[in-house]
Every structure is written in C-alpha cells, then in structure tokens.
Structure 1
Amino acid sequence: MVKIAVVVGSTRPGRRSKQVADWVLARATARGGADFEMLDLADYDLPLLDEPMPPSLGKYQHEHTKFWAATIARFDGFIFVTAEYNHSVPGVLKNALDYLYEEWNNKAAGFVSYGSAGGVRAAENLRLIAGELQMADVRAQVALPFATDFENFTTFTPSTAAEEALEPLLQQLIAWATALKTLRT
C-alpha cells in the first residue's frame, strides 16, 4: 500500500492549515486505499536553506537536512495543504521543498489550498515547483475560499463542494502514487 503524507504547509501563529489538514487526514483515512500520515512543517527545524551544495547532488551536510530527507523518502505521494500568501505559497513550504530533490522525484502531489480566492494561485505556484522536482501533480484539487469554508473567516467549516472535491483528488493521487512507485523500485 502506498504511503501519502498530508503536509501542513504553514507554521504561522493562528494558521488555518492545521484545521484543513486534520479534515483531509480524517477523510482520507476513512476512505482508505493508502496509508496516510500528517507531516506538519512546524515539527521540523528547517532554517532557511543552508546546504552548500545543490540539493540535486544529494550531498547533504546538515543533520536537519538528512533527517528531512529520510522523512520525505518514506512517502510515495503528498497532499500539500497550503495557504495563499501574496499570490504564492508560504515561505516555510517553499523552503522545505527546496531542501531536497531526489526524495521528491517520481512521486505524486495533490493540492488543497485556501485563501480569499480559495488559494488557487498558491496551488498554481506549487504545480510549477512540483514539475521542477519531477513530481506528478494530479489535476483534481480542493480550493477553499474564506467566504464559504471558514466561519467568521477563521474556523474551518467545509462546504458540500469542498467535501465533493476531495474524493477525486484522493482517487487520482492514490492511482498516480501507486503507478509512480514502480519507477522508484
């Protein structure tokens, strides 16, 4: 069975990404078809990229990078839960992606975004980053506007549309993660 991480892509105080990631993880686990696990960037002490060699060489020198690499290597796919900050992804998520290369290669990626316009610009930025990291991003995505999916713009209350959008994302992600696993073995 493939292993998929639900990545909490913000560490900001008062972040909404943990609420959204908890929902994704609960729905995904109940659905089944893969082993799902939470991966909260707040639990990793990754300073701004401080490796002297390009990640594509895989010559990591710092223990925090080696630990991060071993963590990411365990997974076959990822659901990135991201806020939209200034029409893009939170810096902490970009930094975490930039640390590694081979550990991301030939793995599936799906996106659950949120923000004033559903976070769609952050998801589009992630698609570009995923492509460069040789990840296969699935077409289905979940976009959560503050106006419809967050009570008082703070408490996550998924709409029927959000609930319905998650299933195709999970279906596509599991299929692609399963298919891509054969490229890595």
Structure 2
Amino acid sequence: MYQDFHDIDAIEVQDTEQYTAHYTVDDLTTLLKVKRRQVFNLVKTVKQAYFWEPEAVFNPSLGKYSERCLVELRRLQSCKNATEYIALVARENQKPQQANKISTSALVPTRHTEALETKLATIQKNTTALNVSVQDRIATIKDRIATEASRTKNNQSVLDELEAQQAIARGMEKGLKIFELEQQAAAAILEQLTLEKLQQG
C-alpha cells in the first residue's frame, strides 16, 4: 500500500519536474507573438482555469513563468475563447468551473476606435488647414500678379504718352527751324533787293 502511494508521488514529482525551463514576459511575448499586456491577461486566464493549482506552478518567481505555463498559454491561444479553454481544462481534470466569468479580452485584440477616429479627425483638420493655407497663398500670388500687370500697363501708358509728347516736341522744333530758315531767307532777299535798288539810284 505504501509502495503504491510512493509510486503515485514519484509520478507527480516527475510530471512537475518535466517543466524546468523558465521564461520572462519578453520571452513569452516573442514566443506567443502578442503584446506584453496580452501575456498578463493570458496568464491570468490560465491561473483561473487551474484555480486548484498553486500559483507557483505557473509563476514560480517574480517575473518568471514556467514551461507548463507556456504550454497552457499555447493551448489557450488555440481555443476560440477563454470560456472554451476553461471548460476544456475543467473537463480534462474533472474539476468544476469557477463561478466567476472569465473575460475574453485576452483573446480578443483591444479596439482603439475612439483613438483612431480622433487621430483621423486631427489629420483631416490639418489637411483642411493646409489646403486653406495653400488656397490663400495662391489667391495672394494672383492678386500680386494682377497688381503688377496693372502697374505695368499704367507704366506703358505713361511711356506711350511721353513718347507722343516727345514726338510733338520734335515736330514743333523742326517746324520752328523751318520757319526760322524761311524768315532768314526772306530777310536776305529783302536786303538784297534793297541794296540793288540803292545802287541803281
């Protein structure tokens, strides 16, 4: 009889000792391909499923997790949700399920709808502001071009008027020279005629 109990104890010790490796949270994050927060949620679900087991079975020391914990975490991931995993563990070990309802947040990724919408709204607002700024700059440039064009047109008008006035001045100067020459010619002829008349007398 004693031998039978001894054999049972030996089997239990052997089952416990086969999980000798220890993992950190970062190790589990890499192995399970989840975030740190999800690791903690998954471990919590495993401990709740094995509520009759000592916590040290899965978490032997602070920041360290056993190989058995890793095995159970992978089993949990293979289930549809935490409820299915809890039922599976209870059925395999012929244990009743705890009355507390286990959250499935460990298996369902957290949604960030509000944060995403806020970010998109900010981006849209910045884009709208940028578009308005660009439109304002384009309008300013157009106004500047129109102003420069108007100024150029006015300058051209002034230039044309100056050229016309210069042409008139040149014409008047030429006319005055012709008139002066005509007067000089007339005076010379008159003087010559007067001189000839005096010589004849």
Regarding TM over 0.5, the answer is no
* Greater radius of gyration (CA): 2
Higher RCO (C-alpha under 8 Å, 6+ residues apart): 1
TM-score where L is the length of structure 2: 0.22
TM-score where L is the length of structure 1: 0.23
